[in-house]
Structures are given as C-alpha cells and as structure tokens.
C-alpha cells in the first residue's frame, strides 16, 4: 500500500469501509457462506486484518457503552425484542466505528516505515525488528510497527505479545495497546489486550505506564521486573506478581497453558484462544469447577479427557466440529 499520501488515505478509507460493512454483517447475523467470505477477505492481506480488527474493536467498545447507559436514559423505551441489535443501531454504531478507525489510521499515515505483522488462531510468531528488538506474537494477534528517526512505535491492535527491546537511549520504544501506553529503553515485557483491560507483565528491566491522552513523563508509574499492571481506561493499577503468577502469564511463549485453580469457564476461555472451533460450557452447574494442570495449547483433547475423567463432566462433539460440555447425569443404581 504505497504511493502519495492522498492515495494512501483513499485506500485506507476504502479498506475500513469494507471492514465496517463486514463487521455490521456479522453483528446482524451472517450466514455460513458470508462468514467464509469475510474470513477469506481477512486472510487475503494483513492490511485487511488490521482494518477489520480496528472496526471490530470500535464496535465492541460501542457495545460496552450501550450496555452501560447514563442514568438519565433509564426511562427510555425498551429495546427491540430480537436477540440481535436493530439494523439502524448497527449502522449507526458502525458509522462511529469508521470514524474511530479513521482517527487511529491518521496517526500512522506519516510513519517513515510502517509494517504490519499478524498471527492466525493457534499460531505463534517471532518478529525481528530493524533495531534489533524482537516481538513474539501469541495466537490471533496483530501489531503495527513504525520506526522513526527519534522514536520507535508499535501498536498492538489485538491479542498478546512479548517485547524484547534493544537498548537505544536516543530512540525510546513505545507500545500502544487500547487505552494504554508503555515506554521502555532496554527491557522485556508482555502485553495482553483483554476484553475490558490491558494487562502488562514485566520480566526484565522497567516499563513506564500511562493512559492514552494522559501525562506520561514524570508522573507515569514505573513497573519493574517481577511486577505487573492493569490499565482500565485512565486508571492504572500496579501489583507485585508471585512467581507462579509470573510463570503462568508467560507460559504461552513455550506453547503451554498453566492452570492453578481457575474455574472451568476461565480455563475454557484460555484454551479457546487457540481453537478455530470453540469449546462451549452448556451447563452452569459445572462452570465453577476449579482446574489445575499444564497443557500444550494444541492439546484440547488431552484437556477434555482430563476434565471428564476428574469431574462429572460429559464431552459432546457437535455437528459443526465444536465441543459442548455438560454435567454428567449419574445413572441410578436402583434396579427398580
């Protein structure tokens, strides 16, 4: 995607218009054929993937806002009875999403050297940057990299990544993820975008943390190795990490998921990040079962076998290739 700035802007606008349309189609209940069409478009070009991720993130943000309306709207008319959003609401939300995406894109138009990298579901990838730094991408993750004369910028669009930063005092290394910004000179740290927050784990050196749009120099909290932080909007919560928590958060770099008392719901959510066909908990009676153990990210069958052997859980394969977990109904021993 090269050429004059005006041409680049037109190309980006066209991409994001298409991405908006596809996100709207999914939100309105796309058919299986339409889903395949959308997946093929995303996979065809990394720029498509980034545009779609931006629009999807903006859509999800608008959904969260609509789910928590101001108190003055409490007496508003009830929403339509359908399970999905009304079409007018979808179109309006996606128009806003396009505007958000356009603003985000504009900030990167003048980067001297912008590159895009992504991983698919279940894939991990290590990217070597021109400055000697490296970024390890976890499953379904996307980054934008822009190298400037006096700074290095990376945007984590979605997913999770480990950054190992080459020391260069003259060119600070910035990572933006959602509403969070991280600054490092020579260090290693993990950043994950969760549904509501951005999570930082520092394994080496020190990272300065700030919220986008907030002062980030002298007042920014500095998170040292062995510590972490969670950024929720403009709020930053720092905490020391126990050794097992630190190990658990970074185990994915070895292709491992480590559970230490998480609920079955939490464990399944983690495993589903690496699955094209999700595991679904179909019975709330088993949702809070506590899980422990280590599993390779591609060992869904081993995980399911362990769960069904240790707990009263039935594993049912669905026609579409997914998995449904339900409570096991114990057979009565009464012959009558």
In a domain, 178, yes or no: yes
**End position of a domain, from candidates 53, 77, 106:** 106
Residues 29 and 131 in one domain: no
Q: Which residue has the tokens 């999905």?
A: 84
Residues 171 and 56 in one domain: no
| Domain limits for position 184 | 114-246
In a domain, 156, yes or no: yes
In a domain, 334, yes or no: no
Between CA 93 and CA 60 the distance in angstroms is 10
In a domain, 75, yes or no: yes
Are the beta carbons of 322 and 300 closer than 8 angstroms?
no
pLDDT at 93: 54
**End position of a domain, from candidates 186, 216, 246:** 246
- Average pLDDT, 10 consecutive residues per value, the chain (336 residues): 53 76 72 78 75 68 45 38 45 53 43 78 95 96 92 95 93 93 90 94 94 69 94 91 94 95 96 93 95 94 96 91 89 57
pLDDT at 37: 84
CATH assignment of the domain containing 239: 2.60.120.1440
Number of domains in the chain: 3
Between CA 322 and CA 197 the distance in angstroms is 28
Are the beta carbons of 52 and 19 closer than 8 angstroms?
yes
pLDDT at 161: 98
Residues 208 and 150 in one domain: yes
Between CA 296 and CA 279 the distance in angstroms is 16
Name the token pair of 258.
Answer: 């480590």
Residues 122 and 146 in one domain: yes
Are the beta carbons of 294 and 257 closer than 8 angstroms?
yes
In a domain, 13, yes or no: yes
Residue-wise pLDDT for 38-93, tens only, equals: 877 887 776 787 777 777 666 655 544 444 444 333 333 334 444 444 444 544 55
In a domain, 333, yes or no: no
pTM listed for this prediction: 0.67
In a domain, 126, yes or no: yes
pLDDT at 45: 75
Residues 174 and 140 in one domain: yes
pLDDT at 1: 53
CATH assignment of the domain containing 309: 3.55.50.30
In a domain, 180, yes or no: yes
**End position of a domain, from candidates 246, 272, 305:** 246
Are the beta carbons of 116 and 45 closer than 8 angstroms?
no
Using the Cα atoms of residue 89, residue 90, residue 94 and residue 97 in order, give the sign of their dihedral: positive
Residues 161 and 196 in one domain: yes
């Amino acid at each position: 995607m090269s050429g004059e700035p005006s041409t680049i802007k037109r190309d980006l606008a066209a991409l994001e218009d298409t991405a908006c349309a596809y996100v709207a189609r999914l939100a309105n209940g796309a058919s299986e054929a339409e889903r395949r069409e959308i997946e093929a478009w995303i996979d065809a070009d990394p720029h498509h993937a980034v545009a779609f991720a931006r629009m999807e993130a903006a859509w999800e943000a608008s959904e969260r806002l609509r789910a928590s309306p101001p108190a003055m709207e409490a007496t508003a008319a009830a929403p339509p009875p359908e399970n999905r959003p009304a079409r007018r609401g979808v179109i309006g939300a996606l128009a806003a999403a396009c505007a958000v995406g356009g603003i985000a894109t504009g900030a990167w138009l003048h980067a001297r050297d912008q590159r895009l990298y992504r991983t698919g579901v279940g894939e991990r990838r290590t990217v070597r940057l021109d400055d000697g730094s490296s970024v390890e991408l976890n499953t379904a993750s996307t980054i934008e990299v822009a190298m400037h004369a006096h700074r290095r910028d990376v945007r984590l669009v979605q997913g999770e990544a480990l950054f190992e930063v080459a020391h260069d005092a003259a060119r600070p290394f910035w990572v933006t993820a959602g509403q969070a910004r991280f600054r490092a000179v020579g260090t290693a740290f993990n950043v994950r975008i969760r549904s509501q927050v951005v999570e930082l784990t520092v394994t080496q050196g020190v990272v300065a943390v700030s919220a986008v749009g907030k002062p980030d120099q002298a007042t920014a909290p500095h998170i040292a190795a062995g510590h972490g932080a969670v950024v929720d909007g403009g709020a930053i919560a720092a905490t020391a990490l126990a050794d097992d928590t630190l190990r658990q958060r970074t185990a994915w770099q070895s292709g491992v998921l480590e559970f230490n008392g998480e609920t079955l719901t939490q464990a399944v959510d983690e495993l589903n990040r690496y699955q094209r066909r999700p595991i679904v908990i179909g019975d709330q009676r088993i949702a809070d079962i506590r899980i422990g153990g280590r599993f390779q990210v591609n060992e869904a069958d081993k995980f399911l076998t362990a769960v069904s052997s240790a707990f009263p859980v039935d594993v049912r394969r669905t026609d579409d290739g997914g998995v449904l977990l339900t409570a096991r109904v114990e057979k009565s021993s009464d012959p009558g």
